Amino acid sequence: MALAGARRRGSADGGIAAAQHLAGGPAAHMIPRILSVGLTGGIACGKSVVTRELGRLGAIILDADEMVHKLMEPGGAAFQPVVDRFGVEILDSRKHIDRSVLGRRVFADPRERWALNGIVHPLVMQEEERLLREIQLLGEDRLVITDAALIVESGAHKRFDRLVVVYCSPEQ
Quick one: three-class SS letters along 49-94? HHHHHHHHCCCEEEEHHHHHHHHCCCCCCCHHHHHHHHCHHHECCC
Contacts (Cβ under 8 Å, ≥6 apart) of 55: 61, 145
Q: pLDDT in tens for each of the 172 residues of the chain?
A: 343 333 334 444 444 554 454 555 555 556 678 999 999 988 888 888 999 999 999 999 999 999 999 999 999 999 999 999 999 999 999 999 999 999 999 999 999 999 999 999 999 999 999 999 999 888 889 999 999 988 888 788 889 999 999 988 777 6
148 burial (CB, 10 Å; 0-12 / 13-18 / 19+) is buried
Give 146's Cβ-side CA count (13 Å radius).
30
- Determine the pLDDT at residue 28: 53
- Determine the pLDDT at residue 29: 57
- Sorted by where each starts, the structural domains of the chain and their CATH numbers stand as 30-166 (3.40.50.300)
Side chain identity, residue 94: R
Compute CA 52 distance to the chain's CA centroid, rounded to the nearest angstrom.
15
Read off the pTM. Answer: 0.74
The C-alpha atoms of residue 116 and residue 121 are separated, in whole angstroms, by: 8
Contacts (Cβ under 8 Å, ≥6 apart) of 113: 106, 107
Is-contact 150 47, C-beta < 8 A?
no
